[in-house]
Copies of this chain bind each other. A is one copy, B any other.
């Protein structure tokens, strides 16, 4: 047990340094994006919550408004999301984390280097599907948008206070399936507002696109 406590102690110091380094790179990312007139948004949520589906909905809406999108697709492994974004015809980079359960500013820095920033007005950074790990790792984005789905259960927000405290916008997706899983959408919304009185909450059905226009207005506000 002495050994374990010793390791915990070391861990804390390493963690603090890792966050410091990450925050410095995140600031550099933000500066670089601003320099190129790119507005960036960090999309967070569990696996299958609708992060890629949201990008698929927003890209054409942005196009209607004369804005060009780009994306970084973060995943532990594979290119399932990346391929869906490429199919939209926008510049995209696939960022595989290997074993890590979140993007960090360093990975995003390299992804940004690969993107044609002069051709991008709005950059979506799709984080790894995870409601826990990304919390402490700022990437340099302007806002965090967190997406949960009714099918994740109406206790999903209550279980993840940190994620909602750190986000500007909360999206409740798959509202059409709430009745099938017995999810109380009002409880989900109330839990978001309880953890973060500043958060703006939107309900969407990304399969039909319902709710996305209003959400886009809020993202750009």
Chain A interface residues toward B at CB < 8 A: 3-4, 7, 10-11, 14, 17-18, 21, 25, 46-48, 75-78, 80-81, 99-101, 106, 128-133, 135-136, 149, 151-153, 155-156, 158-162, 174, 176-177, 180-181, 207
Contact = CB atoms under 8 A, between A and B. Distances in A.
Contacts of A10: 14
A11 B14 CA distance: 7
15 contacts: A4-B21, A7-B17, A47-B156, A48-B156, A76-B162, A77-B162, A78-B155, A78-B159, A80-B158, A81-B155, A99-B162, A100-B132, A129-B131, A149-B151, A176-B180
A97 B9 CA distance: 17
B156 A106 contact: no
A47 B3 CA distance: 32
A151 B132 contact: no
A159 B46 contact: no
A11 B18 contact: yes
A174 B176 CA distance: 15
A160 B76 contact: yes
